């Protein structure tokens, strides 16, 4: 009986978190964290039959998950009146309100996951199509970032050299090759080189 009630209340809490209004941040924050509290409490009672350690672990796990979701997808994480969010309210070069620094860290995490999928295939885990898809994902990501940086004139890796080095190393150079190819062969850079050649012209000896 208690398990059924806990499951129902957990679903209700998750629904409150998902439906918390974004336009009214103050009200949305109240609804979101109230739903998180209900879900965490429900998780405690659901896991309680397995012991108090499991119950406490469920609460901690969900608390961390709720904070991560709030930071990544909502404006509901606030400390001393200061909103802490993955997204920036000011315009960013990559769009979507994400700073270049965070975009590259997120890219590093994604490329790491894809590379793990490729390595797993060579160790006999997973199918070849998964490895092929992961490789294409790395190539497309490298090309996309390289082309975008060149097109925006943001400079090499938008100044995020540490993340660029780590991403290139993690992907065993695949990302590096795709990025450099797109960066140096972008229409803007090619047009710039052509224009420079026209202005330079042949040098004559007087």
Nearest to 167 by CA among 130, 189, 142: 142
Q: Would 95 be classed as within a structural domain?
A: no
Query: Tokens representing 91?
Result: 């315009």
The owner of tokens 């080095």 is: 165
Q: Would 136 be classed as within a structural domain?
A: yes
Q: Would 197 be classed as within a structural domain?
A: no
- The answer on 184 and 114 residing in a single domain is yes
- The answer on 74 and 118 residing in a single domain is no
Confidence at residue 201, expressed as pLDDT on a 0 to 100 scale: 45
Domain boundary among 21, 54, 83: 83
- The answer on 109 and 77 residing in a single domain is no
Give dist(CA 121, CA 77) in Å, integer: 39
What total number of domains does the chain contain? 2
- The answer on 62 and 121 residing in a single domain is no
- The answer on 60 and 142 residing in a single domain is no
- The answer on 79 and 6 residing in a single domain is yes
- The answer on 14 and 76 residing in a single domain is yes
Give the C-alpha distances (Å, rounded to integers) separating 37 from 9, 31, 34, 126, 189: 11, 10, 5, 38, 53
- The answer on 132 and 51 residing in a single domain is no
- The answer on 65 and 104 residing in a single domain is no
- The answer on 121 and 77 residing in a single domain is no
Give dist(CA 136, CA 133) in Å, integer: 5
The total number of residues shown for the chain amounts to 206
Q: Which domain holds residue 154?
A: 100-190
Listed in order, strand segments (DSSP E) in 54-172 are: 78-79, 82-83
- pLDDT tens, N- to C-terminus, the chain (206 residues): 656 788 889 899 999 999 999 889 899 999 999 999 999 999 888 888 888 888 898 899 889 889 888 887 788 888 887 878 777 666 666 665 678 888 899 899 999 989 998 998 888 776 688 889 999 999 999 999 999 888 888 788 988 999 999 999 999 999 999 999 999 887 655 454 444 334 334 444 44
With beta carbons less than 8 A apart as the criterion, state whether 154 and 160 touch.
no
Confidence at residue 166, expressed as pLDDT on a 0 to 100 scale: 97
Query: Tokens representing 118?
Result: 């490729």
Q: Would 205 be classed as within a structural domain?
A: no
Q: Would 161 be classed as within a structural domain?
A: yes
- The answer on 23 and 69 residing in a single domain is yes
Query: Tokens representing 155?
Result: 């400079």
Confidence at residue 196, expressed as pLDDT on a 0 to 100 scale: 38
Q: Would 203 be classed as within a structural domain?
A: no
Q: Would 59 be classed as within a structural domain?
A: yes
Q: Would 57 be classed as within a structural domain?
A: yes
- The answer on 118 and 71 residing in a single domain is no
């Amino acid at each position: 009986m208690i398990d059924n009630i806990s499951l129902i209340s957990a679903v209700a809490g998750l629904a409150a978190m998902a439906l918390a209004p974004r336009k009214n941040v103050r009200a949305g924050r109240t609804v979101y964290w109230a739903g998180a509290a209900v879900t965490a409490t429900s998780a405690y009672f659901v896991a309680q039959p397995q012991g108090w350690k499991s119950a406490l672990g469920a609460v901690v796990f969900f608390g961390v998950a709720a904070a991560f979701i709030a930071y990544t997808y909502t404006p509901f994480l606030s400390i001393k009146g200061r909103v802490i969010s993955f997204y920036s309210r000011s315009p960013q070069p990559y769009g979507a309100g994400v700073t270049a620094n965070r975009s590259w860290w997120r890219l590093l995490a994604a490329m790491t996951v894809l590379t793990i999928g490729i390595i797993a295939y060579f160790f006999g885990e997973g199918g070849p199509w998964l490895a092929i898809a992961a490789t294409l994902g790395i190539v497309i990501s490298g090309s996309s970032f390289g082309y975008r940086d060149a097109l925006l004139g943001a400079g090499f890796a938008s100044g995020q050299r540490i993340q660029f080095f780590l991403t290139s190393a993690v992907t065993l150079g695949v990302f590096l090759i795709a990025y450099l190819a797109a960066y140096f062969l972008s229409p803007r850079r090619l047009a710039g080189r052509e224009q420079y050649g026209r202005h330079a012209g042949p040098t004559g000896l007087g």
